[in-house]
Structure 1
């Protein structure tokens, strides 16, 4: 999967170590022949637990809080845990020493993220993603284990929303699926929109019952100001923002069964997460980019990529084409839906190289001619914002002093817009020869 399913929750801080239920806990409660939904590790979902969190929690208290949380998640999600889950807490420094999460990023990825105008030539994708993940990841689930990332792991407390979120991932892994590797970036964040959206949807409903219906132990959310690439963070955070709304729409259609069924038919694009009414019927268009490069230029790396609607929104927002306050115009979540990108039908991005020089061809398709025209105009405006000089009717040159300093050819033909990038205006034709 290009974009792995990991529990990134915006600016939460967690600490403490939560143990799985002890071996002395019976498999079933008194009077039951099997483990019922809403009971785990010796606790019912509506049990009270005696916990004094003012000076942290000891092992017994943490075990009780975790077991009851699992029972409550069962109650909300209508699924049953098969087995216990271990929980480890590490420092943020240790998390970085382990290499963070996800995969390493290459020169091929540098071209992909340069094409989105989110990572310029003055840095590389690996460093940029490392900065985002290193400062914002607070927990993740892998192989029946939860790892919580704490700024100060010596403070023995439990961040309740993060614990609930990660325990939901454990339930998904045991009863549903955390997904399989996807072939493109956009398909990856779409799959994450279901997985992470489900976990955040459960987390939100859990928190909504705390203080009114349920007595809840553990701390709530804490925020910390961090420095990171805001546009890239917007891409990373997309599944957590729009995923819960997508899951809620599925649940409204047919209850939890409808959500469960989606794990057998994952959403294919971020478009379907942003616009749930387009799932599952509106699949991405197949956009072909023929190889018209000269002998000295070649395709390399992992082949082609699909950027998708959500990432294109981040492109225009990060570069001030979409007003900053538009992102916050939906009180329930970030708003990734904008007229510039709403008409996305599909795209294909192909990185090229010639020795130490790089370029790309980015083909996009839109629902209507008007949608393509709007994207084309917004893209030219973006180039203008970067100080581009218009060299000819469809050719532009951003100065070398800019971190995206390159030449661009931008051509619209009906519902398609094709962008060619090269280090110089002269090299554009070598990367992708135009057709008259």
Structure 2
């Protein structure tokens, strides 16, 4: 199975820089040092648990890692995801699109960037973290440790392994959704940056930043608005000229913007997004984000587009097959959804002023790009389809992209220039291009043979666009109150009258296609003792001839502790307690949770054919994330 761990592993130098100031260095906890010269994690973990409201479910080992071992780790993992020849294809496509301005070895550039900027990294497959920079002051090492320990909390409560495998490299015939992947980076790295910043202020300056929302808004908002160059300049002034951190900051200038900009944004803009989510509903609201993930950088760069009463969901674009290209020797080499963040980068890389690029990209509603290469001469051509929130937003992007074309093709010769359409010769040996505005859509073709433009452009303008618009997010779903507990009713669930007094709520969940049996989610509350957590887990496991080890997870929501069992196999529970009549249901699955509250334990359970439970599993997790005390 192809997978990449790289997006979620590293505490960057800029994140560590938040601890690098004369004040925090002076306040470093010199007595909190282990025998190996690394921070003692005991107090850091205890403080993080109080800040985040999550408990560490297991120990988190930490050790140093050599530069050589780290590079081998990165290279091995990257090769599993994208072989070198695939990176060459991606590079050629991005170069023609304008995301890159020069040929580079994209794989080597990515590894070099991570190696130069990572102060530490957490490996969810090994369940440990590694320090990479050894000459940092203790205050910075402590902050780096706090950052990586937040990743460990995320892994233990929200399963980073499963999240990373979900976003493994797509099949060769499917576009990369770089936009959705980057949105997840915002969540993972942003939360870690936010929490380690709160920890730093608490542990080193005895200041509770979360108690002062205005201070948080000012400080984190300022960082989110800075670009990489501004932050690097500020960091360099603080760090000086010596040491690994100083060198890492100098190295930022060498890293292509295509790599550095999203890396930086994940930490700083992601921290701001996490703060806004917590302000909207505490850590319970952040837990809901984990259960109902953002799907675009637009949603996290503009938190109101995710956290508001209605959520802005991207449109889905499907490009035509362009069958004439294959017949003429063109082969697809890359395809991707780039999103607001990276289309903004594209404009700025091609000379569009920052303010114009920001305005042009912020009305984004969807995009899809594809690149082809012709074997006979190696020429690359690209098609780009974009859709925008309004016709005015589309006009803004059209105008900005036209400015970008002047830098991309300095020798271009206009062939047609009318309102909403330009065609042009790109330059010697580069083919021809077209830029078209149609209502809320903007389309670009570049590198086409002149005799094919009249055939390909109408096909591109006819790209299928599925507008989704604004939908109600989890936080706006109707809620049910049951004996002192509340949770969100998920879409597709049909609420029923409880069948008996032991049930405080129940819902009908329709069967998956091909399954004869529907299922129900049932919520129980007993005012008498029904055994401890382990006794109930054992009882549920006894109801199955398991075909795999059960998965037991624990999460917290404030003072509420939720323990969930995921079981599958042959269901052999008694039809009725004491009846002696047993079920015999192969290929069934159960999701069941013990929700411990001050009032006592609640029991959530749904059991049925595996395909049906699979269908509703993500809704079940979203429901758990929405649980709150009343």
Q: TM-score range by the shorter chain?
A: 0.7 to 0.9
Larger Rg: 2
**Bigger share in helix:** 2
Alignment of structure 1 residues 157-176 onto 2, 5 Å: 159-176=141-158
Note the C-alpha offset of 1:260.
0.6
In structure 2, runs of 5+ residues without a counterpart are: 18-26, 168-175, 208-237, 240-244, 417-421, 462-630
Match of 1:343 in 2: 363
SS of residue paired to 2:358: coil
**Bigger share in strand:** 2
Equivalent position to 2:183, from 186, 190, 202: 190
Structure 2 Cα separation of the partners of residues 272 and 420 of structure 1:
28
Structure 2 Cα separation of the partners of residues 49 and 360 of structure 1:
53
Flag the 1:116–1:131 CA change in 2: closer, same or farther, 3 A: farther
Does structure 2 conserve the Cα–Cα contact (< 8 Å) formed by 1:9 and 1:136? yes
Alignment of structure 1 residues 301-316 onto 2, 5 Å: 304-316=335-347
Q: Deviations over 1:365-388 (max 9, x none)?
A: 011111111111111101112314
Alignment of structure 1 residues 109-128 onto 2, 5 Å: 109-114=90-95, 116-120=97-101, 122-128=103-109
1:147 aligns with 2:147: no
1:51 aligns with 2:30: yes
1:353 aligns with 2:373: yes
Does structure 2 conserve the Cα–Cα contact (< 8 Å) formed by 1:420 and 1:431? no
Note the C-alpha offset of 1:127.
3.4
SS of residue paired to 1:256: helix
1:6 aligns with 2:28: no
Note the C-alpha offset of 1:432.
3.2
1:408 aligns with 2:433: yes
In structure 1, runs of 5+ residues without a counterpart are: 15-47, 215-219, 328-336
Q: Deviations over 1:15-50 (max 9, x none)?
A: xxxxxxxxxxxxxxxxxxxxxxxxxxxxxxxxx998
Flag the 1:172–1:351 CA change in 2: closer, same or farther, 3 A: same
Note the C-alpha offset of 1:110.
1.9
SS of residue paired to 1:225: helix
Match of 1:33 in 2: none
Does structure 1 conserve the Cα–Cα contact (< 8 Å) formed by 2:64 and 2:131? yes
Q: TM-score, normalised by structure 2?
A: 0.54
Structure 1 Cα separation of the partners of residues 187 and 455 of structure 2:
37
SS of residue paired to 1:279: helix
Note the C-alpha offset of 1:320.
3.0
Structure 1 Cα separation of the partners of residues 442 and 434 of structure 2:
10
SS of residue paired to 2:392: helix
Flag the 1:156–1:270 CA change in 2: closer, same or farther, 3 A: closer
Alignment of structure 1 residues 258-277 onto 2, 5 Å: 258-277=285-304
Flag the 1:115–1:84 CA change in 2: closer, same or farther, 3 A: farther
Note the C-alpha offset of 1:266.
0.5
Does structure 1 conserve the Cα–Cα contact (< 8 Å) formed by 2:385 and 2:441? yes
Note the C-alpha offset of 1:69.
0.8
Match of 2:519 in 1: none
Match of 2:110 in 1: 129
Flag the 1:132–1:242 CA change in 2: closer, same or farther, 3 A: same
Does structure 1 conserve the Cα–Cα contact (< 8 Å) formed by 2:445 and 2:457? no
**Cα RMSD, aligned residues only:** 3.3
Structure 2 Cα separation of the partners of residues 140 and 130 of structure 1:
14
Q: Deviations over 1:286-324 (max 9, x none)?
A: 11211224112455356x41000011112222333133x
Match of 1:81 in 2: 56
Structure 1 Cα separation of the partners of residues 425 and 131 of structure 2:
46
Does structure 1 conserve the Cα–Cα contact (< 8 Å) formed by 2:28 and 2:204? no
Q: TM-score, normalised by structure 1?
A: 0.76
Larger RCO of the pair (alpha carbons < 8 Å, separation 6+): 1
Alignment of structure 1 residues 283-432 onto 2, 5 Å: 283-294=313-324, 295-298=327-330, 300=332, 304-323=335-354, 338-355=358-375, 356-386=378-408, 387-393=410-416, 394-399=422-427, 407-422=432-447, 425-426=449-450, 429=453, 432=456
Does structure 2 conserve the Cα–Cα contact (< 8 Å) formed by 1:351 and 1:358? yes
Structure 2 Cα separation of the partners of residues 374 and 50 of structure 1:
52
Equivalent position to 1:212, from 205, 208, 212: 205
